[in-house]
A and B are shown apart, each in its own frame.
Chain A
Amino acid sequence: MIVHVPDGFLDAPTSLAAGAVAVAGVAVSLRGARRELDDRTAPLAGLTAAFVFAAQMLNFPVAAGTSGHLLGGALAAILVGPYAGVLCVSVVLLLQALLFADGGLSALGTNVIVMALVTVPVGYLLFRGLLRILPKTRPAASAAAFAAAAVSVPASALSFTLLYAVGGTTDVPIGTVAAAMVGVHLLIGVGEGLITAFAVSSVLAVRPDLVYGARELIKPVVLRTAPPAAETATEGRA
């Protein structure tokens, strides 16, 4: 099934330090998320967290005898904003650890760092950067979502490796861990990219105004929906 970092991979001091970093990151996100959430986007953020939970259950095969699952940081950031995105993934990780015994309790900080505090900024900044360069179209936004999500996964694997270099409990050469982690997660990143691009383009197709990270794409769609809205208004007056 899903499997996040369990207890015992990292030593106690490193886990404690990771916990402190995670608490700080979540605290900053609690403040920042106020700007991203309103009456309309707050329920969307709740749904996004639920979708990330559900999609994480869907391990897909990546290579001989190995599977991968969505991390969801890039997706959540694009849909509801980076601060709310961190909170979405963190809520999922907290409930997975408490209800489903997935992800060690002492490793919760580690999991929040590698799956929320790394994937969200990497995914969001890359998505925004690509939107700036690419044409302002929905296919371009989907491609940007794919690339942002795909890169966020090996970045997450690398961040775990760095934590392991600091406080790993076994004596394995760190270069070996890095190569193996990044290697397999490059493949998982392709799956992450496909799921993210599919989800983002689905929302863009029906309600582009609900995609926080692609606000500049709203304009043409508002123009397209303007005539029926105007008709309704005229009918209402008549």
Chain B
Amino acid sequence: MTTVAEVPDNRTADEQRRHQRHLMIRHTKDWIRMGLGIIFLVGMLFPVYWMLNISLQGSGTTLTSSVFPLHPNWDGYRTAIADQGGHLITSLIIAVGTVVVTLIIAAPCAYALAQFRFRWINWALLAILISQMIPGIVIANALYALYERLNLLDSIPGLIIANAANAIPFGILIMRSFMLGVPPSIVEAARVDGAGRFRAFLSIVVPISRNSLITVGLFSFLFAWSDFVFALTLTTKGTIVPVTLGIYTYLGAHVANWSPVMATAVLASIPAIILLIIAQRYIAAGAFGGAVK
């Protein structure tokens, strides 16, 4: 019988000492790595920290500002909310709308492409892959002309549709790769019980694929929330202003006071921070969205 406790007994004192030293070196290396990791991270996140720092310095010019916000001044946030609070809400409505539209359109298609047999399936996947490579400016260029005629310029539905254009192909690819793993037998079992294809999809496939739906929902929210190209091109009158466009307008005028700009930037980062905290494990899955393996 070999147990872990027996192993050292078989070793000479010299070997034991060497083993101890080996463990100690490994331990030290671990701590050195952690230290390095923290140093790298501090470097990487410095711009984010600096944004937060300046947002809390009322005077705004970085020359007079300190390295730490020891005396936080909330004037920047007051100005930001007064100027941009409405834009944050506009962005929120557009982002939520995009999530809903994307999931409703992409989920059934992802399921069909994963589970049904179509002769043209490879062509469809290729088209979806290529559609992800079309630059946003191309879509904006054509949609501007179309929206002009359909009266969709300067409208929230118009921006939701444009943002869904980014999210739908991405969503199909992510959810399809997940739904390939749904066993057809459980869907068929529901069908034997008399459920139609749509009912079986809603009551069996959707709950099983919850994680991939969450991944797609989160990413389509972030896409729409961060959208700048459509916000910039498909609005003309300044009546519908998402927060990204609000920041851009702030940056357009020569910036005399940075703290409201940075305060808006911080507020616009909140969804990303929440996503990072609650959904870190979905992110790696989402990162592969653009690529069919």
Asked if A and B bind, the verdict is: no
A: residues with CB less than 8 A from B are none
B: residues with CB less than 8 A from A are none
